């Protein structure tokens, strides 16, 4: 009550779930003037956070903050006043002014924590294994495999350096190397299996990526959120600077997806006497949250990095991995319209994509594929060829209405038993994360449920999660998903509609990320010119990050 009477906008700092927009609505009803200094400062912070998380920037310049705040207020704020508001926010430790850049305090601290940890690891003495070349040869014999020179370099560097990056596109053997590192670490340190799983932590930003590492190594793997033991009640991680994990080797996959806040949280929760191996594809989309961790670390030339470039193909008539490298290098071959054993481009106009997509999916079903093994993805949610519209059409194909299947209507969506579902937010306490895919196993209407409310029970690969009405907005149909949501996952069959209706979202890194999700079959559907445009368009937004400068100055 004291907070509300003195400065209602301070409620935003005290209660995580309450946003500036909600508090501002209440404040206006309390007749707080729209030009009240407390409101303007709270609004600056709101805009700061909004831009940071929308664009992925870790800092903003004065002009960015000024123009966006003026735009929100719909008039030009006096610049001297605005500068003083920023100075007050700095004095209140809400934001940080450093090197002519403005940061949210937490993100500024996160960058510093990452730089400090890397500095410690680089300066720490390396491990030398005198017989490691022989050990690798023995491993090759045991697994009936031959590692190329770059793969051998990656294995040795990962075991000897305290921090190592392994980067490469699809088909370059990243997963093979992770398996080799784990096996050699076990042998070199004379560990049994129980000792190995205590010393080695395999991590990834998504559940599907973690499952993939687990399957390849026969070791347990976790999402980073689960490893850090996020506490719903306190909104904090249980593994932190005061309660550190004691693993000795960390292998983290899909690092391009990790934002600066999550990596900082991980670094706070682990000791300095460790080895970290960061694995990822430099050319994929950056994280949804702020930063571009993998790019900045590689560009710094401070962290030892092995770039894998040798391409392993399944057979002479396969094309997916070749296409990925053509896209990455902007050297698309005219043969991209020719069908291969694992690839097809079906030409059609934009206005026929919906019907052709339905026909393709019916053919896929007739060949014995269920929609757990097939994933359709597109760049945008809105429009006739957008995700929201196509999901409704694809539900009719994959899971049509049946009187034996229960249904629930939520807003303009019908959820049906056996629907494919996409998780939209992290719920660590349920072990389900943004981008996870599941199947609706049961729907209980309010008249028969034990809670007396409608319930949707979703099966995420054996993990059954119950959704109450307040949670229905956390899921949506997953027959077709966004390319951003597909990161960290692989699918047997991937279908991608390509159309100029997506033009503002068609760029090289996005299309590269999409086609590298396919393991066995890739089907592109739409306009060849749109595909060519996406490959040639490298005009993605350049994120404002300062990690690279800090690394080069401090390490």
- How far is the C-alpha of 337 from the C-alpha of 79, rounded, in Å? 56
Residues 267 and 293 in one domain: yes
Residue 501: inside a domain: yes
Does residue 491 share a domain with residue 411? yes
**Predicted local confidence at residue 66, as pLDDT:** 95
Look-up: residue for tokens 């003495």?
A: 125
Q: Are residues 335 and 307 in the same domain?
A: no
**Cβ atoms within 10 Å, residue 307:** 14
pLDDT score at 314: 56
Please, which pLDDT band fits residue 428 given cuts at 50, 70 and 90?
Answer: confident
* Per-residue pLDDT at 554 exceeds 80: no
Q: Rounded CA gap, 264 and 229, in Å?
A: 15
**Number of domains the chain is built from:** 3
Q: How far apart are CA 271 and CA 111, in angstroms?
A: 18
Express as a percent the part of the chain with pLDDT over 70.
Answer: 96
Q: pLDDT at residue 311 above 80?
A: no
pLDDT classification of 232: cutoffs 50, 70, 90: confident
325 and 307 part of one domain: no
List Cα–Cα distances, 141 to 29, 137, 187, in angstroms. 75, 6, 15
Distance CA(274)–CA(161), nearest Å, equals: 10
Distances (CA, A) of 340 to 146, 359, 521, 522, 531: 27, 20, 9, 10, 17
Q: For position 39, what pLDDT does the model report?
A: 83
The three-class DSSP label of residue 451 is coil
Residue 291's alpha-carbon distances to 236, 264, 327, 396, 530, in angstroms, are 21, 11, 24, 40, 29
Least confident of 81-85, 283-287, 551-555: 551-555
C-alpha 232/C-alpha 128 separation (Å) is 43
Last-in-domain residue among 247, 281, 312: 312
For residue 98, pLDDT beyond 70: yes
Q: Do the Cβ atoms of 95 and 102 come closer than 8 Å?
A: yes
CA 343, 346, 352, 356 torsion-angle sign: negative
Query: Is residue 172 domain-shared with residue 71, that is, in the same domain?
Result: no
Are residues 349 and 380 located together in one domain of the fold? yes
Domain-ending residue, one of 278, 296, 312: 312
Environment class of 280 (CB within 10 Å of its CB; exposed 0-12, middle 13-18, buried 19+): buried
Q: Is residue 327 situated within a structural domain?
A: yes
Pairing, β 518-526 against β 491-498: parallel
Residue 552 tokens, joined: 């080069």
Claim to verify: residue 306 and residue 326 sit in the same structural domain: no
Output the six-digit token pair for 239.
């593994």
282 pLDDT tier (thresholds 50, 70, 90): confident
Beta bridge partners of 307: 167
Instruction: State whether 327 and 469 are in the same domain.
Output: yes
Q: How far is 199 from 205, CA to CA, in rounded Å?
A: 20
**Per the domain annotation, does 546 fall within a domain?**
no
Co-location of 229 and 283 in the same domain: yes
Determine whether 9 is exposed, middle or buried from the number of CB atoms within 10 Å of its CB (0-12, 13-18, 19+).
buried
Q: Hey, how many other C-beta atoms are within 10 angstroms of the C-beta on 149?
A: 8
Residue 72 has pLDDT above 90, yes or no: no
Mean pLDDT of 360-383: 92
Q: CA-to-CA distance for 508 and 329, rounded, in angstroms?
A: 10
> What CATH number is given to the structural domain containing 77?
1.10.10.10
Please give the structure tokens belonging to residue 74: 């719909």
Instruction: Judge whether residue 2 has pLDDT over 60.
Output: no
Q: Name the 3-class secondary structure at 99.
A: coil
pTM of the full predicted structure? 0.90
**Do 224 and 202 have their domain in common?**
yes
The reply to whether 201 falls in a domain is yes
Q: What SS3 string covers 381-403?
A: CCCCCCHHHHHHHHHHHHCCCCC
Asked whether the beta carbons of 86 and 104 are under 8 A apart, the reply is no
User: Measured between alpha carbons, how far is 221 from 210 in angstroms, rounded to an integer?
Assistant: 5
Q: Model confidence over 388-403: pLDDT tens digits?
A: 999 999 999 999 999 9
Encoding tokens for residue 313? 């193909």
CA distance 292 to 281: 12
CATH code, domain carrying 523: 3.40.50.300
- In this structure, what DSSP letter does residue 541 have? -
Residue 119 located in a structural domain: no
| β 275-280/163-168 pair status | parallel
Same-domain pairing of 531 and 421: yes
If you average pLDDT over residues 261-283, what whole number do you get? 96
- Tens digit of pLDDT for each residue in 183-226? 999 999 999 999 999 999 999 998 889 989 999 999 999 999 99
233-264 pLDDT, tens digit each: 777 899 999 999 999 999 999 999 999 999 99
| Average pLDDT score, the chain | 92
Alpha helices in 191-319 (DSSP H): 193-199, 207-217, 224-227, 260-268, 293-299
Q: Give the Å distances, CA to CA, from 360 to 370, 389, 511, 515, 529.
A: 13, 17, 20, 17, 21
Average pLDDT on 473-485 reads: 95
What secondary structure, in 3-state letters, does 315-339 show?
A: CCCCCHHHHHHHHHCCCCCHHHHCC
Query: Residue 5's pLDDT is what?
Result: 57
The pLDDT, as a whole number, for residue 526 is: 96
What is the C-alpha separation between 123 and 127, in angstroms, rounded? 12
25 part of a folded domain: yes
Q: Which residues pair with 250 in a beta bridge?
A: 201, 276
Of the candidate ranges 32-46, 159-173, 483-497, the one whose mean pLDDT is the lowest: 32-46
Question: For residue 422, which phi and psi values (nearest 5 degrees)?
Answer: -110, 130
Burial label, 521 (beta-carbon count in 10 A; 0-12, 13-18, 19+): buried
Query: Is residue 312 over pLDDT 70?
Result: no
What pLDDT is recorded for position 19?
Answer: 76
Asked, for residue 551, whether it belongs to a domain, the answer is no
Domain-located, residue 143: yes
The answer to whether 357 and 393 are in contact (CB under 8 A) is yes
Q: What is the pLDDT of residue 539?
A: 84
Query: Are 218 and 347 contained in the same domain?
Result: no
Q: Report whether pLDDT(33) > 90.
A: no
Q: Which two tokens stand for residue 104?
A: 């949210």
Does the pLDDT at position 170 exceed 60?
yes
Structural domain range at position 10 = 1-102
Q: What is the pLDDT of residues 507-523, one digit of tens each?
A: 999 999 999 999 999 99
Block residue for tokens 């600066």: 260
């Amino acid at each position: 009550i004291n907070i509300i009477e003195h400065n209602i906008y301070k409620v935003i700092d005290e209660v995580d779930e309450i946003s500036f927009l909600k508090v501002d609505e209440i404040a206006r009803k309390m007749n707080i003037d729209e030009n009240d200094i407390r409101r303007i400062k709270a609004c600056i912070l709101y805009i700061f956070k909004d831009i940071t998380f929308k664009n992925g920037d870790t800092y903003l310049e004065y002009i960015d903050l000024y123009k966006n705040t003026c735009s929100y207020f719909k008039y030009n704020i006096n610049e001297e006043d605005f500068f003083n508001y920023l100075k007050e926010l700095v004095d209140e430790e809400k934001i940080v002014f450093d090197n002519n850049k403005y940061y949210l305090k937490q993100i500024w601290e996160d960058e510093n924590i990452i730089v400090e940890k890397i500095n410690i690891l680089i300066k720490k003495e390396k491990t030398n294994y005198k017989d490691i070349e022989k050990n690798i040869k023995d491993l090759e014999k045991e697994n009936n495999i031959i590692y190329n020179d770059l793969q051998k370099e990656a294995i040795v560097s990962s075991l000897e350096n305290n921090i190592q990056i392994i980067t490469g596109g699809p088909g370059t053997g990243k997963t093979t190397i992770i398996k080799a590192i784990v096996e050699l670490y076990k042998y070199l340190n004379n560990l049994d299996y129980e000792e190995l799983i205590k010393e080695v932590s395999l991590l990834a930003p998504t559940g599907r990526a973690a499952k993939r590492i687990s399957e390849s190594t026969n070791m347990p793997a976790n999402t980073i959120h689960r490893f850090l033991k996020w506490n719903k009640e306190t909104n904090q991680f249980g593994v932190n600077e005061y309660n550190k994990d004691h693993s000795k080797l960390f292998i983290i996959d899909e690092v391009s997806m990790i934002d600066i806040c999550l990596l900082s949280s991980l670094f706070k929760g682990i000791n300095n006497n460790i080895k970290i191996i960061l694995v990822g594809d430099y050319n994929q989309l950056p994280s949804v949250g702020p930063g571009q961790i993998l790019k900045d670390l590689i560009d710094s030339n401070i962290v030892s990095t092995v770039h894998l470039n040798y391409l392993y193909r399944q057979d002479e008539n396969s094309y997916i991995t070749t296409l990925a490298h053509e896209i990455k290098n902007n050297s698309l071959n005219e043969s991209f319209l020719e069908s291969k054993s694992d690839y097809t481009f079906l030409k059609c106009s934009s206005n026929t994509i919906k019907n052709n997509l339905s026909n393709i999916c019916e053919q896929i079903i007739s060949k014995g594929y269920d929609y757990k093994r097939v994933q359709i993805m597109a760049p945008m949610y809105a429009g006739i060829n957008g995700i929201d519209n196509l999901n409704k059409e694809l539900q009719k194909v994959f899971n049509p209405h049946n009187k034996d299947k229960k249904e629930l209507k939520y807003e303009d969506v019908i959820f049906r038993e056996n629907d494919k579902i996409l998780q939209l937010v992290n719920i660590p306490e349920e072990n389900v994360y943004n981008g996870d895919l599941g199947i609706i196993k049961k729907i209980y209407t309010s008249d028969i449920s034990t809670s007396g409310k409608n319930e949707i029970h979703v099966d995420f690969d054996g993990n059954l999660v119950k959704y109450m009405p307040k949670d229905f907005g956390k899921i949506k149909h997953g027959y077709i998903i966004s390319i951003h949501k597909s990161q960290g996952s692989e699918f047997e069959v991937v279908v991608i509609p390509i159309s100029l209706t997506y033009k503002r979202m068609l760029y090289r890194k996005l299309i590269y990320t999409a086609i590298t999700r396919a393991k066995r079959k890739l089907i592109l559907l739409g306009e060849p010119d749109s595909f060519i445009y996406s490959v040639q368009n490298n005009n993605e937004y350049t994120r404002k990050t300062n990690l690279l400068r800090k690394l080069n100055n401090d390490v």
